[in-house]
Chain A
Amino acid sequence: MTETHRMISPEDAVYMDNNATTRLAPEVLAAMMPYLQDYYGNPSSMHRFGGQLGRVMAEARQKVATLLGAASEEIVFTSCGTESDSTAILSALQSFPEKRHIVTTRVEHPAVKNLCENLDSLTGHKHRLTRLPVAADGTLDLQKYEESLSDDTAIVSVMWANNETGVIFPIAEMARMARERGILFHTDAVQAVGKIPINLQDIAIDFLSLSGHKLHGPKGIGVLFVRRGTPFVPYLVGGHQEKGRRGGTENVAAIVGLGRACELAAEKMAEENTRVKALRDRLEEGLLASIPHSMLNGHKQDRLPNTTNVSFEFVEGEAILLHMDQYNICASSGSACTSGSLEPSHVLRAMGVPFTAAHGSIRYSLSIYNTEAEIDFVLEKMPPIIAGLREMSPFWKADA
């Protein structure tokens, strides 16, 4: 905030905003350091000092591929999840210029949503967009999905897990339905990778996006998985890097970091789905029990292990977050005021969450670095924050 520029130290932060970004794992930083400090060469160079980095990158690529159950030549490094999303969708449209239909959902991240909504001006063609609705618990209707697929469909782009609610879509089944009709399938798996097991060997996905900073890797690195044999048109055209699939000198340190992060994610996958999940459940149950007029947004089971999105009725999200901020508790909200727009989150609106609740939604997203003590702390601080704001709210009736 202005006027006071004191930094909030990482030791003080009670960080429960891991769907926004994650802490760089110390092991990842250690793996990156040599390539930030000493080995600054360009992998494309003819001399060994630069050229030797090609081997280093190959190792990292293999680690990413292993986490996904992919082959290393199917891994294309990009700058972020957003770039991966754009690359996949625009590639499919250019590969099938005669097809003008795209299937996606109402709850995609802006990286896919805003791209799909602006395709006409980007490509100079008119496109037909099917945005699949979701039920009140954030899940998709597979029959509606199947009915939407047509000969004119160039690509399906459906996220694996939702960043706001953590709700997981049945990607394997959806990809199979697209494959049966010869339609390319892209999934934005930015929130899923590292949190739930993924094995692309068994799944008919053609493109998958992930982002380093969501799995304790560095910012500024992403991956687009492109299945072998999938038609591909690059988005960044330039040098021959990434076998001509993505121009631009490689971000070697970040690539090495991402490789290490993927290795760690595989090691911690069990912990994420047991200890972290238990912390999440305790937080969620505690909040719902101690705060009246609070409710869970999203399907209780089909959900990422680290995410809970809870609405506190009759109070507004930004105000809640700023009170939490007084205790250095970090989370997010789907309220209008925090999104910078005037309407609450498109995800909650698509789920039909009533306005009384949508404006007061808070997303807590945990990681392996969270502790029991932090959950206790949040469970202690939240009820008085909500009660205090309700006291001030013209809609709150104490006996309601």
Chain B
Amino acid sequence: MWEYTNKVQQHFLHPKNVGEIDNPDGTGDVGSLACGDALKLTFKLDDKGVIADAKFKTFGCASAIASSSVLTEMIIGMTLDEAAKVTNEDIADRLGGLPKEKMHCSVMGREALEAAIANYRGLKLPMAEGEVVCECFGVTDLEVIRAIQESNLRSVEEITNFTKAGGGCGKCLDRLREILVATTHQGSGLVQIVDKNKRPQRMTTLQKIKKIEEALEREIRPGLRKDGGDIELVDVDGDFVLVSLRGACTSCTKSRTTLKEFVEKKLRELVLDSLIVEEAK
């Protein structure tokens, strides 16, 4: 059973602004039956360009319905520029939080709003123009990158929770990992402060650290020491494992190969197959 806040329950059981506006100024249609949730958002502006009315129709679970309902409540009275700044985190916050596996419901709200605004302005959504990464749920790389950046995602699992990408057949998981690595590298580096509430699902960070330490000690250090090197665990952040190579390894031109081909491979095998090993700078 999901732990829903009272606010989510209220908006689910007694949703506000259900329906569809006749001759709306903007319409946003996102999701599909196949995906398990879909949202149609319509709004009308007054003569000052303020959202005078907004209505929704949603197919989906309690959090999808609650996110849609609270979204309409939030944007009525906003100018379009204000509304354009609403993020999925804002929607989730207004609901007192959502279970992390349900964050994609708030993302759907934000996407519908964006689509509706773009529809009013006669624009095409840049997001939809990316390359589809996840075939099962039709998620593009641009959407994934944006979710990583906006919500500071640190693991493939979190990407799935927020965008649904990777939640179906799982074929795109490697590609998602690549995007995650590339996106976080472009940002302000790896050793960033992250939201400590965002824990990976299957293993707590503590469990992960313990297992990684064990694997390093038993399987990895012996190999490196033979060549006069060593390795230290610096930090574990989501799926990112930051290590520093010591001794002979540091000067070794092959240190990146060692890291990826030996350390990462071993850790994926022994601890969690989504881990990404990087050298701490």
Residues of chain A at the chain B interface (Cβ within 8 Å): 1-4, 314-319, 322-323, 326, 335-338, 340-344, 355-356, 359, 391-395
CB of B61 within 8 A of CB of A4, answer no
User: Given A4-B6, A342-B137, A393-B59, list of 18 further CB < 8 A pairs?
Assistant: A2-B4, A316-B60, A316-B64, A317-B61, A319-B60, A319-B62, A323-B13, A337-B61, A337-B62, A338-B61, A342-B164, A343-B136, A355-B34, A355-B36, A393-B58, A394-B38, A394-B57, A394-B59
Q: Which residues of chain A are within 8 angstroms of B18 by Cβ–Cβ distance?
A: 391-392
Residue of A nearest to B38 (CB): A394
Is residue B264 contacting chain A, with contact meaning CB distance below 8 A?
A: no
CB-CB under 8 A for A392 and B57, given A3-B5, A316-B37: yes
Is residue B101 contacting chain A, with contact meaning CB distance below 8 A?
A: yes
Instruction: Kindly identify, within residues 1 to 48 of chain B, every residue whose CB is under 8 Å from any CB belonging to chain A.
Output: 1-6, 9, 12-13, 15, 18, 29, 33-34, 36-40
Q: How large is the interface on B (under 10, 10 to 19, 20 to 34, 35 or more residues)?
A: 35 or more
How close is B76's CB to chain A, nearest CB, in angstroms?
18
User: What are 14 sample pairs from A and B whose C-beta atoms fall under 8 A apart?
Assistant: A315-B59, A316-B36, A316-B64, A319-B64, A336-B36, A337-B36, A341-B167, A342-B36, A392-B65, A393-B58, A394-B29, A394-B57, A395-B33, A395-B38
Q: Chain A: interface secondary structure? A: loop
Inter-chain CA distance A319–B167, complex, in Å, is: 20
CB of A2 within 8 A of CB of B33, answer no
CB of B4 within 8 A of CB of A1, answer yes
Inter-chain CA distance A1–B168, complex, in Å, is: 28
Inter-chain CA distance A395–B40, complex, in Å, is: 10
Is residue B67 contacting chain A, with contact meaning CB distance below 8 A?
A: no
Residue of B nearest to A3 (CB): B6
Residues of chain B at the chain A interface (Cβ within 8 Å): 1-6, 9, 12-13, 15, 18, 29, 33-34, 36-40, 57-62, 64-65, 101-102, 136-137, 160, 164, 167-168
Inter-chain CA distance A235–B36, complex, in Å, is: 39
CB of B59 within 8 A of CB of A314, answer yes
CB of A343 within 8 A of CB of B60, answer no
Q: Which residues of chain B are within 8 angstroms of A356 by Cβ–Cβ distance?
A: 33
Q: Which residues of chain B are within 8 angstroms of A394 by Cβ–Cβ distance?
A: 29, 38-40, 57-59
